[in-house]
């Protein structure tokens, strides 16, 4: 068993620090006491197993509003076993009353401050939400414009396809006409060749009759 004599400095009086020390001591099975000392510090005398005392010292190094422990001065001694449990040594009842009032006031002020911050954060969140909605609407407008342009492009593409179909149709008609012309020309030439052959045959026959070979 060991004893640790601790002097806590910082914002440790009239902020509920002694109550926090008492809870930590009970959780770890530490015996001893805690009390305010002049002008602004807190004295803690604690006895227990050395490992438990080390954990206790870390547990009371509190920096959580309104408590702010800036330093802990620790002196190790042999345990005396004189303490049955851990307790708070209170001062005059008037001092204790004012300390309780100060602690309650500090916590109330902190609650109001946190409430105001929460309201401010809420207003900021609403503003961001409205901004997000406005951005979303603007994006939808731009998307609609893009869709309209896409529709216009598709319509132009359909017109171009129709024109292309018309050109292909005309090309096919021209090809058919050319085929018809070629067929007519071929028939005409064949008829002329046939007439020429007949005429040549008649001339040959007339020449043979005249004795001209």
Q: Which sequence positions are flagged as catalytic?
A: 18, 36
Q: Nearest-CA neighbor of 15 among 78, 88, 73, 102?
A: 102
Q: In sequence order, what are the residues at sequence separation of 6 or more whose Cβ sits closer than 8 angstroms to the Cβ of residue 31?
A: 25, 46, 47, 48, 83, 84, 85, 86
- Edge to edge, the sheet with strand 2-11 lists 63-64, 67-78, 2-11, 41-48, 31-37, 86-88
* CA atoms of 88 and 104, how far apart (whole Å): 18
- Supply 164's token pair: 């292309």
Q: In sequence order, what are the residues at sequence separation of 6 or more whose Cβ sits closer than 8 angstroms to the Cβ of residue 193?
A: none
* CA atoms of 74 and 44, how far apart (whole Å): 9
Q: What single DSSP character describes residue 84?
A: S
- Supply 20's token pair: 């926090």
CA within 13 Å, CB half, 177: 6
Q: What single DSSP character describes residue 3?
A: E
């Amino acid at each position: 068993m060991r004893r640790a004599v601790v002097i806590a400095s910082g914002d440790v009086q009239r902020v509920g620090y002694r109550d926090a020390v008492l809870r930590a001591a009970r959780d770890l099975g530490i015996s001893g006491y805690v009390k305010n000392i002049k002008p602004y510090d807190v004295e803690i005398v604690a006895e227990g197993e050395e490992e438990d005392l080390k954990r206790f010292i870390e547990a009371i190094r509190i920096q959580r509003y309104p408590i702010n422990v800036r330093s802990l001065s620790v002196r190790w001694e042999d345990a005396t076993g004189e303490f049955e449990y851990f307790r708070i040594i209170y001062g005059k009842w008037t001092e204790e009353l004012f300390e309780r009032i100060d602690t309650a006031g500090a916590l109330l002020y902190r609650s109001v401050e946190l409430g105001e911050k929460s309201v401010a954060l809420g207003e900021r969140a609403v503003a961001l939400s409205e901004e997000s909605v406005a951005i979303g609407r603007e994006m939808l407008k731009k998307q609609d414009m893009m869709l309209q342009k896409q529709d216009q492009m598709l319509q132009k593409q359909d017109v171009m396809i129709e024109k292309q179909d018309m050109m292909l149709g005309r090309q096919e008609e021209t090809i058919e006409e050319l085929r018809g012309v070629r067929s007519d020309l071929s028939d005409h030439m064949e008829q002329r060749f046939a007439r020429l052959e007949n005429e040549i045959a008649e001339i040959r026959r007339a020449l043979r009759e005249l004795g001209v070979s």
